A and B are shown apart, each in its own frame.
Chain A
Amino acid sequence: MFSGYDFDVIQRSLPYLFREGMVFTLTLTVMAMTGGIIFGTILAMMRLSSLQPLSWLAGAYVNLMRSLPLVLVIFWFFFLVPYIGAWIVGSPQPIAVGAFWSAVITFTLFEAAYYCEIMRAGIQSIPKGQVAAGQALGLNYGQTMGNIVLPQAFRNMLPVLLTQTIILFQDTSLVYVISATDFLGAAAKIANRDYRLVEMYTFVAVVYFIISFSLSYLVKVLQQRVAIVR
């Protein structure tokens, strides 16, 4: 089974795979996670807002994103972002946006819908009495949220947020469809150039497995720690 297996091609391409590909994947993951959690938290606060139009808008956005395949959303934004950019800058022509920034914007906006649902559950897990107590002490909405509700919500939801980030890490491989050079994209380029598809794709699978598996294990440990303190 491994008789014709060429381990050398993997070794030769290691610097390219990791310095180009994995750096792209990890940067994209971290940026989309940060942006996604911030935007997702805002969406969650909007969804739980007593202002009807706000909660309706956020709900519609989240449901739309969750009903569409990620691949389609990637295509949408790949073509849409240049137009939005032109609209913001005020230029008459669509502006050029590279695959990387297009991917960052796409994943931030897409994952925000999923982070929103997690944060909504987190905010709802805080007893209503705490908000009431905050208001009774004269804190305004921002102070109650920022000092009382959100810190606890984040803490309660930390394992779920991280699990979602592992999913995000795996999903970034889909930037393949806009020909970006992430870890999988880099491997695919070498696989096709040297006709070493079997070697490259099994190697990619093993690397993804090791990273995701270790991260899920860490999340599990963290979950137990958080559970003990509470």
Chain B
Amino acid sequence: MNYNWQWDVLLQTASDGSGTWLRYLVVGLGWSLATALCAWILALTIGSIVGVLRTTPMPWVVRLGNAYVEIFRNVPLLVQMFLWFFVMPELLPQQLGDAIKQMPPPWGSFLPAVLCLGLYTSVRVAEQVRAGIQSLPRGQGMAATALGLTLPQTYRYVLLPMGFRIILPPLTSEFLNVIKNSSIALTIGLLELTGRARAMQEMTFKVFEAFAAATVLYLITNLLVVLLMRAVERKARVPGFIGSAPQNTGGH
């Protein structure tokens, strides 16, 4: 393959004048991580609530939770992104919708991206939380009831502390998924890492240098998250419960 590599393009000044192309890409990584982190907070909050609701002994609450999960799981993420970006402002009351549409860039695409990724991921978190709680021996919940704890107390002091520690490894891979999925926000104009790599390729025609640099940045991020979470997992591991929760089943 005769491709003329020119790595020094990374140190040339970017066309937006903010610094080198390398810096331009690293700022993009910052946006990827900011999107992913905000979405992750949203996902953990909603996902935990929905996951817990799906394990309660109330059938209609369980059904409601299941419906929520099915809706977000069966529509492609890109379509959901378009729904949040193009459709949501139209369905809101006129004033609110206009206010969202007139937000200055990048916030006009950052907010829909966070909402979309957050809710999409919340479903996957909910699945893990449910699996974690259901993987606990039934005796633990019964023991809590026998001790006179109410249902909320059972969850607060017995089931959730155990459940979360068990599902930490699958949650790590879900977090990695959010970082990767944040790249889909480029379709609604958010200049995160992949979007910036494409912009750089269009400006400089250095296709493979741009994508290779982005690839390396993603790999480094991945590695750091994995190392960090492995340390956390070692700390939080419940003796005797290793690998008792189902691992991440596919998906990206």
Chain A residues close to B by CB (< 8 Å): 1, 64, 66-72, 75-76, 79-80, 83-84, 86-87, 92, 114, 117-118, 160, 163-164, 167, 170-171, 173-174, 176-177, 184, 188, 191, 197-198, 201-202, 204-205, 208-209, 212-213, 216
Contact with A along B193-225 (1 / 0, CB 8 A): 010011001000001100100110011001000
Contact between B197 and A208 (Cβ–Cβ < 8 Å)? no
CB nearest neighbor in B for A86? B1
The total of Cβ contacts below 8 Å across the A-B interface reads: 121
Pull 13 A–B residue pairs with CB atoms less than 8 Å apart, ordered by A: A68-B215, A68-B218, A69-B181, A70-B183, A75-B198, A163-B249, A164-B250, A167-B251, A170-B74, A171-B252, A184-B78, A198-B90, A205-B75
Chain B residues close to A by CB (< 8 Å): 1-3, 70-71, 73-80, 82-83, 86-87, 90-91, 176, 180-184, 186-187, 194, 197-198, 201, 207-208, 211, 214-215, 218-219, 222, 249-252
Contact between B211 and A177 (Cβ–Cβ < 8 Å)? no
- Among candidates A67, A160, A176, A205, residue contacting B80 with C-beta atoms closer than 8 Å: A205
Q: Determine the chain B residues whose CB is within 8 A of the CB of A71 once the complex forms.
A: 183-184, 186, 194
- Among candidates A79, A92, A177, A198, residue contacting B207 with C-beta atoms closer than 8 Å: A79
Contact between A209 and B186 (Cβ–Cβ < 8 Å)? no
Q: Determine the chain A residues whose CB is within 8 A of the CB of B77 once the complex forms.
A: 170
CB nearest neighbor in A for B90? A198
Contact between B250 and A163 (Cβ–Cβ < 8 Å)? yes
Most buried by A among B78, B194, B249: B78
Contact between B74 and A209 (Cβ–Cβ < 8 Å)? yes
Contact between A201 and B76 (Cβ–Cβ < 8 Å)? no
Contact between A176 and B78 (Cβ–Cβ < 8 Å)? yes
Closest 10 CB pairs of A and B: A69-B183, A212-B74, A170-B76, A69-B180, A173-B76, A197-B86, A67-B222, A71-B183, A164-B250, A79-B207
In the complex, A197 Cα to B85 Cα: how many Å? 10
CB nearest neighbor in A for B180? A69
- Among candidates B74, B91, B176, B194, residue contacting A208 with C-beta atoms closer than 8 Å: B74
Known: A75-B198, A173-B78. A160 touches B249 (CB 8 A): yes
Contact between A79 and B1 (Cβ–Cβ < 8 Å)? no
Q: What is the minimal beta-carbon distance from A38 to any residue of chain B, in angstroms?
A: 18
- Among candidates B211, B219, B250, residue contacting A160 with C-beta atoms closer than 8 Å: B250
In the complex, A1 Cα to B251 Cα: how many Å? 34
Q: What is the minimal beta-carbon distance from A174 to any residue of chain B, in angstroms?
A: 6
Contact between A198 and B211 (Cβ–Cβ < 8 Å)? no
Contact between B79 and A205 (Cβ–Cβ < 8 Å)? yes
Q: Determine the chain A residues whose CB is within 8 A of the CB of B2 once the complex forms.
A: 92
CB nearest neighbor in B for A167? B251
Known: A70-B180, A204-B79. A87 touches B250 (CB 8 A): no
Q: Determine the chain B residues whose CB is within 8 A of the CB of A176 once the complex forms.
A: 78, 187
- Among candidates B1, B74, B184, B222, residue contacting A216 with C-beta atoms closer than 8 Å: B74
Contact between B208 and A205 (Cβ–Cβ < 8 Å)? no
- Among candidates A66, A72, A209, A213, residue contacting B214 with C-beta atoms closer than 8 Å: A72
Q: Determine the chain A residues whose CB is within 8 A of the CB of B90 once the complex forms.
A: 197-198
